[in-house]
Amino acid sequence: METILHLLPLTGAQKAAFQAAAPESEHLFLPTNDRGGASSIPQEWRERTTILLGYVPPEQLKTFPNLKWVQSWNAGVDPYLVPGVLPEGVRLTSAVGAYGPAVSEHMLAMLLAIYKRLPAYCDQQRAHIWADLGPVGSLAGKTVLVAGAGDIGRHFARLVRALGAQRVIGLRRSAGCPAEGFDEIYGLGALDGLLPQADVVALALPHTPETAGLMSKTRLLAMRPGAVLLNAGRGSAVDCTALAEVLHTDIRELIYGPEQAAYARFQRRYIVCTAVCVLVLLAWLIMEWTLEPYLTRLREETYELYPGLFYTLLVPPLASAAAGVLIPSAISLWGDIRIRSQ
């Protein structure tokens, strides 16, 4: 008898369906909606489980001594394919084909949000500002290039076609097989020639040696002005450093957003300035300690005649320390305000 551990957020009807499909098996249900569920699996369940449905961090698989089959809830299973992660003899299957509608709808939502300037209008709404941001875009008559003609790519092709895209082109490893929803199918090698023709470039690619860094700086620059790049596949398909350079922005803004990126820049400069101030003060203290006998004599002999001399030795280090913090911080804040206003 097999013991199936379900790490899925199932309804009562769905649990009953699983039990009806495998009535001879023992079913253990531990609902999880995120990737933290594996830590709460009792050790007794780990030892009994032979079939695992859901997600367990790759390093946790070794805690299932009788495991025979892992059905991941992810379409990509790259972390499990690292040598030594998957126990010998264990079968691994993925959820390829399960996310086509959900991911393609998300891609379409992001595309329309860009075309209709929704992020900018949402920012204005929060700031209680109403200002016309100019013309908006539309999919009508556009050329859409989809790299990856699998389940997600095919669903996305149908959606953009329904909203008026004039030409939908697909790229896949083998150009000889037609795919539903596309007007034309080419191999990945045709990417360079098709990029300048596309109004929308959508990526739905797995991580492979061929796709890693696929969208290089040269290819990003080859896209036509105003084209939209969507990536719903592996992040490695886009060279993010090159993307930041092409967009003339900070790579932190692409990853964390402008507010967090501005704070990161301020924090880095503040830390550097503080370190400089500490060094200045330490140098001054060392100098004072070394020259203490001379300074004592100097103060006794010349303080009444030349009071400015004593303050000349004391004020500059303190002023430098204050300036080292305040001036760079003000410059950093001014620069971030300028970036935000552009």
Residue-wise pLDDT tens digits, 160-182 = 999 999 999 999 987 777 788 89
> What is the biggest distance separating any 2 CA atoms in the chain, rounded to whole angstroms?
103
Range from 32-36, 47-51, 258-262, 311-315 that averages highest in pLDDT? 47-51
Report whether 59 contacts 50 (CB < 8 A): no
Q: What angle do CA 268, 273, 276 make, to 5 degrees?
A: 130
- Comparing 187 with 282, which gets the higher pLDDT? 187
* Residues 219, 224, 226, 231, Cα dihedral to 10°: -40
What mean pLDDT comes out for the span 269-289?
57
Token representation of residue 215? 């969208």
What mean pLDDT comes out for the span 93-98?
89
- Comparing 255 with 49, which gets the higher pLDDT? 49
pLDDT confidence tier of residue 15, bands split at 50, 70 and 90: very high
Range from 26-40, 95-109, 237-251 that averages highest in pLDDT? 95-109
Token representation of residue 123? 């920012």
Using the predicted structure, report yes or no on whether residue 62 has a pLDDT greater than 60.
yes
| C-alpha to C-alpha distances, 337 to 119, 124, 325, 332, nearest whole angstrom | 19, 16, 18, 9
Give the pLDDT confidence score for residue 342 in this predicted structure.
46
Q: DSSP assignment, residue 34?
A: S
What mean pLDDT comes out for the span 62-81?
90
Give the pLDDT confidence score for residue 25 in this predicted structure.
96
Q: Roughly what angle, to the nearest 10 degrees, separates helices 292-302 and 307-341?
A: 110
- In terms of Cα–Cα distance, which of 230, 266, 268 is closest to 340? 266
Report whether 230 contacts 107 (CB < 8 A): yes
Q: What percent of the chain has pLDDT over 70?
A: 70
Using the predicted structure, report yes or no on whether residue 197 has a pLDDT greater than 50.
yes
CA atoms of 90 and 68, how far apart (whole Å)? 5
Indicate the SS3 state at residue 148. coil
What mean pLDDT comes out for the span 299-322?
54
- Comparing 251 with 293, which gets the higher pLDDT? 293
What mean pLDDT comes out for the span 134-138?
94
Token representation of residue 72? 């991941």
- What one-character-per-residue DSSP string does 187-237 give? EGGGHHHHGGG-SEEEE-----TTTTT-B-HHHHHHSPTT-EEEE-S-GGG
CA atoms of 335 and 330, how far apart (whole Å)? 9
Residue 170: CB partners within 8 Å, gap ≥ 6?
Answer: 146, 149, 153, 157, 179, 181, 182, 184, 185, 186
Report whether 217 contacts 191 (CB < 8 A): no
